[in-house]
Amino acid sequence: MPAVSKGDGMRGLAVFISDIRNCKSKEAEIKRINKELANIRSKFKGDKALDGYSKKKYVCKLLFIFLLGHDIDFGHMEAVNLLSSNKYTEKQIGYLFISVLVNSNSELIRLINNAIKNDLSSRNPTFMCLALHCIANVGSREMAEAFAGEIPRILVAGDTMDSVKQSAALCLLRLYKASPDLVLMGEWTSRVVHLLNDQHMGVVTAAISLITCLSQKNPDEFKTCVSLAVSRLSRIVSSASTDLQDYTYYFVPAPWLSCKLLRLLQCYPPPEDGAVKGRLVECLETILNKAQEPPKSKKVQHSNAKNAILFEAISLIIHYDSEPNLLVRACNQLGQFLQHRETNLRYLALESMCTLASSEFSHEAVKTHIETVINALKTERDVSVRQRAADLLYAMCDRSNAKQIVAEMLSYLETADYSIREEMVLKVAILAEKYAVDYSWYVDTILNLIRIAGDYVSEEVWYRVIQIVINRDDVQGYAAKTVFEALQAPACHENMVKVGGYILGEFGNLIAGDPRSSPLVQFNLLHSKFHLCSVPTRALLLSAYIKFINLFPETKATIQEVLRSDSQIRNSDVELQQRAVEYLKLSSIASTDVLATVLEEMPPFPERESSILAKLKKKKGPGVVPVSELEDGKREGGELNGGGDRGPDSAMSASNASTPSPSADLLGLRSAAPVSAAAPSAGSLLVDVFSESGAALSPLLRLSEDLAPLCPRRDELLNKFVCKNNGVLFENQLLQIGIKSEYRQNLGRMYLFYGNKTSVQFASFSTTVSYPGELQSHILTPLPLNVQTKPVEPLVEGGAQVQQVLNIECITDFSEAPQLNIKFRYGGALQNITLKLPVTINKFFQPTEMAATDFFQRWKQLSQPQQEAQKIFKANHGMDTEVLKAKLLGLGTALLENVDPNPENYVCAGVVQTKSQQVGVLLRLEPNAQAQMYRLTLRSSKDTVSKRLCDLLAEQF
């Protein structure tokens, strides 16, 4: 049946495509293509000028060949020629070629830009759109340089056709994404925001993508979009399904626009204006209600469009995290989807519920679906859905369901897809550690993990179990017994041998009383695995053996014999040979006392963030693990180490004890031993049984230097809250203190939440807030901060939380933070905790917007030396632009764009509001990415303010 191709057909092209399709082999295809390329080349080079049609046809053929996956290195000039054709079809093909085969030849770019410029100024909407499409498709920096100034004008001009506006908006978006520094909205900002009110739904749909992107980068400048977006959304949500005519999609009014509106709102906190907020909540409720109504169509398009809006609304509800009622409704809705027959919905519900699980309002509601989720993990046929189920189980896990979830994950591991095993192992290890109430359970779980999925158990996981066993003396005996039993399996994983070797080497004595696990039995068991293991494991076993000699003198002869055997002392592996030689010598010449000192039990490891968690984070990339999750891990990981009550000082000393230096002298022995070929690294050998290569200190030890100690030093606590107002202020095994605060002008209100983490009542609970030096200060000089509060209830029940409100007034600028002292009785013992409250001078900032000229004028006015404070310091964190911006905004100042001539620099301005005076502050932060340094300069009318802010901020970057 012959068919008519729409528009203008190009017969030659169709024939060529047919030929290609008829080629029987790849070779035949290449042959046909080469023939065509030769033909086109000769036509282009030929003397006869080609007419527009032929040129178009050949350019189109080249394009087709390129899209088949072949390289094309000519034809660009002919395509550019087509751009200036006044025949639409020729122009169109020219633009298509240019967009697909982007070329960096500068002469060509100049010609292309010229052609685009002509079309943009042609006032012919069809041509203008073509030109804008081309810019949007290429999106290069050269195009941004040429057109970023012109397009905003087209976008907001009153006489621009709707279709051109739509293209202009998205064209600008593409340029902004590629070269944000070149797209300056400035004076156009408010007119762009008002496109949300445009009559034409298509214009709104296109413009909102641009506005959303700009809002993410400059939320303050675009914040008027919130109320406009809410009213637009409200009109759509309340419209009947036919009101919006062609923008209704399968009975759903404007689904694309609705999703984008809800997405835009996620760039902002909940609206402050009560009326706007009320209207928005109403919209969200309507969307949730509609989900319960019977569908208006059986078509999947109807339900997809409707649910797309629903999921976006749920994302917004989760983003706000402040409406318990909506959160719980969202959770119930997702719960229904968990059992939906559509796989897509089950997938999305699992994914969305993961974020709900981290909200305090909906965590419990999420937990009620545990059986369904476990079932999904077991029965879903699609691995990506099972992955989501595993993620959700991980997210909903807490102390109450940890045993069940860990057991389910372990049993799933036995049959899990290879692609997700490693991640599952990490998750099980983290949960087991985080929620371990008794450590024997923890040890069992990890050993099970090694048994079931040994290949996927990374170093971090088995390091961690050893670390914890070392730090908890109540579990050492159990661990030794369990690992001894596990090693008796005929085929056990090498990771099990490592753990076994290490633990028996340290704590084998705890089970040696039982004749079934007497020293020699232990040794023979370990040694029976020796020959099946890799070099690093053998090295570890040798270290375990020397530890045995110290623990059990009766094994000395047997072990010395092993060390002396040719397979050890003449081992071709340098590391093994060296260990054998050194250990043999050590055991024969050192006195019992020296031996006991050198081979002493490992000191406790310093507390630190779980290395497993760090690994999971790394695996999933930053931002994947919710922040609260990480903080939890950090806190509770430490707890397991035995130490919420241990201060940073003891952590320091522990870490000193486990560095190699103190016992390095003892290795003077080494000089007596035969020196093997490569020995210089062996200094750490004896202290560090972990060390697998001698050259590298155990990662566990190295980690301790990188990561902050668990219980932050007091000033670190302050630093943590300089740029944010909410979070966990303090936590130990008994008590958690959460904080929420808000500031306006010179006033602040702080909510403290004291949570009793135990099941026992706290008695005589009392808190006092004081200002340091309060007692010594002159009675007539007012304190810089006035903090008022009411006493809290003296009894805090187990598991309960009490709230305390502090009203803070800033009288004058200050540099000391107020102190919070908490006293209570727990089981008879008096607990006394003193903390600094994170009230810092920057909390009383009022942001000030100003133009470049103003800024520099004021900067110059503040030029006296004492008005300026400056610090140059090394970057402590990454130098990512977005993070820096977020911090500077969190500081409370206005972040001024386009003020500093160097776009890498940041300048901010604000006024510190105190009761006695207002202090204007200007800030300039100059990053030097190459040197990883910053220069921070603050100028203000008051020297103490400059100085204090400079000190505070230097710790933030």
Partner 1 sequence: MRFMLLFSRQGKLRLQKWYVPLGDQEKRRLGRELVQTILGRKAKMCSFLEWRDLKVVYKRYASLYFCCAIEEQDNELITLEVIHRYVELLDKYFGSVCELDIIFNFEKAYFILDEFLLGGEAQETSKKSVLKAIEQADQLQEVRAVYLPRPLIPLISQAF
Which residues within the stretch 906-935 sit at the binding site for partner 1 (CB under 8 A)? none
CB-nearer residue toward partner 1: 71 or 187 = 71
Binding segment toward partner 1, per CB under 8 A, in 26-34, 197-205, 284-292, 322-330: 197-205
**Is 53 annotated in some ligand binding site?**
yes
How many CB atoms lie under 10 A from the CB of residue 775? 7
Is 171 within any annotated ligand binding site? no
Question: What span, in angstroms and rounded, lies between the C-alpha atoms of 837 and 843?
Answer: 12
**List 1, 49, 491, 829, residue binding partner 1 (CB under 8 A):** 1
For the segment 86-145, give every residue that binds partner 1 (CB under 8 A). Answer: 87-89, 92-93, 96, 126, 129, 132-133, 136-137, 139-140
- How far apart are CB 260 and partner 1 at their closest, in Å? 8
Q: Which residues contact 376 (CB under 8 A, 6 or more apart)?
A: 338, 346, 350, 385, 386, 389
Q: Which long-range contacts (CB under 8 A, 24 or more apart) does 116-123 make?
A: 116/83, 116/143, 116/146, 116/147, 117/146, 117/147, 118/84, 119/83, 119/91, 120/147, 120/150, 120/154
Cβ 202 to partner 1 shortest distance, Å:
5
The CB-of-430 to partner 1 minimum distance in angstroms stands at 20
Nearer to partner 1, 308 or 811 (CB): 308
Ligand-binding annotation for 250, yes or no, is no
Calpha distance 93→78 (Å, rounded) = 11
Structure-derived torsion over alpha carbons of residues 629, 631, 632, 634, reported in degrees to the nearest 10: 120
In whole angstroms, the minimum distance from the beta carbon of 206 to partner 1 comes to 5
Q: How far is 334 from 313, CA to CA, in rounded Å?
A: 12
> Contact at 8 Å (CB) between 357 and 368?
no
Of 944, 951, 957, give the one whose Cα is nearest residue 870. 951
Q: Is 860 annotated as a binding residue?
A: no
Q: Which of positions 562-621 make contact with partner 1 (CB under 8 A)?
A: 621
Provide, rounded to whole angstroms, the least separation between the CB of residue 177 and partner 1: 8
Closest approach of partner 1 to the CB of residue 316, in Å: 12
Q: Is 159 helix (H, G, I), strand (E, B) or coil?
A: coil
Nearer residue to partner 1 within complex by CB, 233 or 839: 233
Q: Which tokens hold the place of 810?
A: 């800033």
Give me the least distance between CB of 836 and partner 1, in Å please: 37
Q: How far is the CB of 8 from partner 1 (least distance, A)?
A: 4
Minimum distance from residue 170 beta carbon to partner 1 (Å): 4
Beta carbon nearer to partner 1, 385 or 450? 385
* Segments in 518-591 forming alpha helices (H): 519-530, 535-551, 556-564, 566-569, 574-589
Between 137 and 733, CB nearer to partner 1: 137
Q: How far is the CB of 96 from partner 1 (least distance, A)?
A: 6
Q: How far apart are CA 820 and CA 834, in angstroms?
A: 6
Distance CA 257, CA 236 (A): 9
* Subset of 616-675 contacting partner 1 (CB under 8 A): 621
Taking the least distance from each CB to partner 1, the nearer of 67 and 675 is 67
- State the minimum distance, in angstroms, from the CB of residue 265 to partner 1: 13
CB of 159 to partner 1, least distance (A): 19
Smaller CB separation from partner 1, 126 or 725: 126
Report yes or no: 583 and 563 within 8 Å, Cβ to Cβ.
yes
Residues 3-22 that bind partner 1 (CB under 8 A): 3-11, 14, 17-18, 21
Whether the Cβ atoms of residue 186 and residue 156 lie closer than 8 Å to each other:
no
Q: Answer whether 529's CB lies under 8 Å from 567's CB.
A: no
Task: Tell me the C-alpha to C-alpha distance, in Å, between residue 490 and each of 325, 453, 494, 497, 499.
Answer: 56, 16, 12, 12, 16
Which residues 341-380 are close enough to bind partner 1 by CB under 8 A? 343-344, 346-348
Beta bridge pairs of residue 32: none
Q: Minimum distance from CB of 305 to partner 1 (Å)?
A: 5
Decide the pairing of beta strands 801-810 and 785-789: antiparallel
Residues numbered 147-176 forming contacts with partner 1, rule: CB under 8 A: 163, 166-167, 170-171, 173-174
Q: Which is nearer to partner 1, 69 or 865 (CB)?
A: 69
Alpha helices in 357-414, H assignment, sequence order: 363-367, 370-379, 383-396, 402-413
Rounded to an integer, what distance in angstroms lies between the CA atom of residue 127 and that of residue 121?
Answer: 9
- Give, as one character, the DSSP assignment of residue 901: S
Q: Which is nearer to partner 1, 308 or 728 (CB)?
A: 308
Of 91 and 887, the one with the shorter C-beta distance to partner 1 is 91
DSSP state of 518: -
Instruction: Judge whether 12 is annotated as a binding position.
Output: yes
Q: Which residue type does 658 have? A: S
Beta strands 894-896 and 906-913 are antiparallel
Which parts of 225-254 interact with partner 1 (CB under 8 A)?
Answer: 246-247, 249, 254
Return the beta strands (E) in 191-285 as ranges.
Answer: 248-249, 252-253
Q: Which is nearer to partner 1, 166 or 458 (CB)?
A: 166
What is the smallest separation between the CB atom of 318 and partner 1, expressed in angstroms?
A: 12
Of 666-725, binders to partner 1 (CB under 8 A) are none
Q: Name which of 168 and 487 has its Cβ closer to partner 1.
A: 168
Q: For residue 391, give the nearest of 631, 633, 634, 625 by alpha carbon.
A: 625
User: Of 222 and 247, which CB lies nearer to partner 1 in the complex structure?
Assistant: 247
Residue list 388-417, contact with partner 1 (CB under 8 A): none
58 is in an annotated binding site: yes
For partner 1, the binding residue among 385, 425, 549, 723 (CB under 8 A) is 385
Size of the site for partner 1 (CB under 8 A): 78
Determine whether the annotation assigns residue 529 to a binding site. no
- In this chain, which of 34, 301, 336, 528 binds partner 1, going by CB under 8 A? 301
Q: Binding residue per annotation — 942?
A: no
Residues 305-344 that bind partner 1 (CB under 8 A): 305, 307-308, 311-312, 343-344
Q: Does residue 283 touch partner 1 according to CB under 8 A?
A: no
Told to check if 421 binds partner 1 by CB under 8 A, we report: no
> Residues 790, 796, 801, CA angle at the centre, nearest 5°?
80
Q: Which is nearer to partner 1, 175 or 406 (CB)?
A: 175
| Residue 225 is assigned to a ligand binding site | no
State yes or no: residue 297 binds partner 1 (CB under 8 A).
Answer: no
Give the one residue of 289, 322, 379, 384 binding partner 1; rule: CB under 8 A. Answer: 384
Cα distance between residue 821 and residue 769, in whole Å? 6
Binding to partner 1 by residue 274, rule CB under 8 A?
no
For 440, phi then psi, to 5°, come to -65, -35
Place of tokens 């890498």: 904
In the bound state with partner 1, the residue whose beta carbon lies nearer, of 382 and 514, is 382
Touching partner 1, residues 505-564 (CB under 8 A): none
Binding of partner 1 at residue 493 (CB under 8 A)?
A: no
DSSP string, 774-840: TTTS-TTSPPSEEEEEPPPPS-B-TT-EEEEEEEEEE-S--SSPPEEEEEEEETTEEEEEEEE----
Q: Is 55 in the site for partner 1 (CB under 8 A)?
A: no
Work out which of 112, 156, 195, 206 binds partner 1, going by CB under 8 A: 206
Q: Which residues pair with 954 in a beta bridge?
A: none
Tokens standing for residue 158: 């009153």
The Cα 110–Cα 102 span in angstroms is 13
Minimal distance, residue 303 CB to partner 1, in Å: 9
Q: Residues annotated in the binding site, as ranges?
A: 11-12, 43, 53, 57-61
